[in-house]
């Protein structure tokens, strides 16, 4: 394996601990996935291990030209898509069934998760290293202050496991925050039991005014409708996925 050379001019934090890299790759079951997509391989500390295990399946998506050049030189057989994961047409470029792994760019990790949700019928598994607070949030259960929009939307379709914490010293240069690895496994739900687009609107409306009761948060977003006492006095972080589905169906009836 070539020495990993971090590109300091990009201001990014590159994993430099091969033991952690192996733990991340070990966390990916890749059960029946036709492809394995690595987001943002950078200088390849995960990529070399992934390539050894999943040579025929691996697709790397990298936006930085210098990283692409480095990977092409050191892993010439690697299938690389040069482009922004958020912008590329995944089904056209990769296929219909692919697991995802990566050390996600922390400033766009939420956007990446939203794109994964859009492709939930095609993505059976995700193993991602993200900022620890993000990992805690998406794995959190109802009742916590950190439980939020991504918690509900992701947990509707994925079982989420907080796997392990990664210290600042495992990166070059060290970030100011701790990181964590999470695993998302598709839970088999294909029909949520409500209109998904409305469900998403309801969840966002509830959490965007999370200090308000649901009566006031929903009234403000949905033209003054009055929801039932079942949820009216509660706040967003108190509701489970199933209860948000129930609330969405109630709003469907009230708005039709």
15 assigned ligand-binding residue? yes
**Distance between CA atoms of residues 249 and 255, nearest Å:** 10
168 has binding-site annotation: no
Radius of gyration over every alpha carbon of the chain, rounded to an integer in angstroms: 20
| CA distances (Å), origin 240, targets 4, 161, 190, 200 | 43, 17, 18, 14
Taking the C-alpha atoms of residue 144 and residue 70, their distance in angstroms, rounded to an integer, is: 43
Binding residue per annotation — 97?
no
Distance CA 195, CA 198 (A): 5
Q: Answer yes or no: are the C-beta atoms of 193 and 182 closer than 8 Å.
A: no
Structure-token pair, residue 193:
């039991």
State which H helix or E strand residue 101 sits in: strand 98-103
| 26 known member of a binding site | no
Where are the strands (E) in the chain, listed by range? 14-15, 35-39, 58-62, 79-82, 98-103, 125-131, 158-166, 171-172, 179-186
> What phi-psi label fits residue 30: left (phi over 0), alpha (psi between -120 and 50 degrees) or beta?
left
Q: Is 69 assigned to a binding site?
A: no
In this structure, is the dihedral angle defined by the CA atoms of residues 129, 133, 137 and 141, taken in order, positive or negative? positive
The answer on whether 84 is annotated among ligand-binding residues is yes
Bond from prior residue into 173 cis (ω within 30 degrees of 0): yes
Q: Which residues pair with 164 in a beta bridge?
A: 181
Which tokens hold the place of 250?
């109630």
Binding site for S-adenosyl-L-methionine, by residue number, is 13, 15, 40, 62, 84, 103
Q: Which residues are annotated as a binding site?
A: 13, 15, 40, 62, 84, 103
């Amino acid at each position: 394996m070539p020495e990993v050379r971090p590109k300091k001019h990009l201001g990014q934090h590159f994993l430099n601990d091969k033991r952690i890299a192996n733990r991340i790759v070990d966390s990916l079951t890749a059960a029946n996935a036709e492809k394995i997509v690595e987001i943002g391989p950078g200088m390849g500390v995960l990529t070399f291990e992934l390539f050894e295990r999943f040579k025929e399946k691996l697709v790397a998506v990298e936006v930085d030209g210098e990283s692409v050049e480095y990977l092409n030189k050191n892993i010439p057989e690697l299938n690389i898509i040069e482009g922004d994961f958020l912008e590329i047409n995944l089904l056209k470029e990769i296929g219909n069934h692919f697991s995802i792994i990566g050390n996600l760019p922390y400033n766009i990790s939420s956007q990446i998760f939203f794109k994964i949700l859009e492709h939930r019928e095609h993505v059976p598994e995700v193993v991602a290293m993200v900022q620890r607070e993000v990992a805690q949030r998406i794995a959190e259960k109802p009742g916590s202050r950190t439980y939020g929009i991504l918690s509900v939307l992701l947990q509707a379709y994925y079982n989420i496991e907080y796997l392990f914490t990664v210290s600042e010293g495992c990166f070059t240069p060290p970030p100011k925050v701790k990181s964590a690895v999470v695993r998302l496994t598709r839970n088999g739900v294909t029909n949520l039991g409500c209109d998904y687009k409305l469900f998403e609107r309801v969840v966002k409306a509830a959490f965007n005014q999370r200090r308000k009761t649901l009566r006031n948060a929903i009234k403000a977003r949905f033209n003054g409708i009055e929801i039932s006492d079942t949820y009216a006095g509660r706040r967003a972080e108190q509701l489970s996925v199933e209860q948000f589905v129930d609330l969405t169906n109630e709003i469907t009836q009230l708005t039709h």
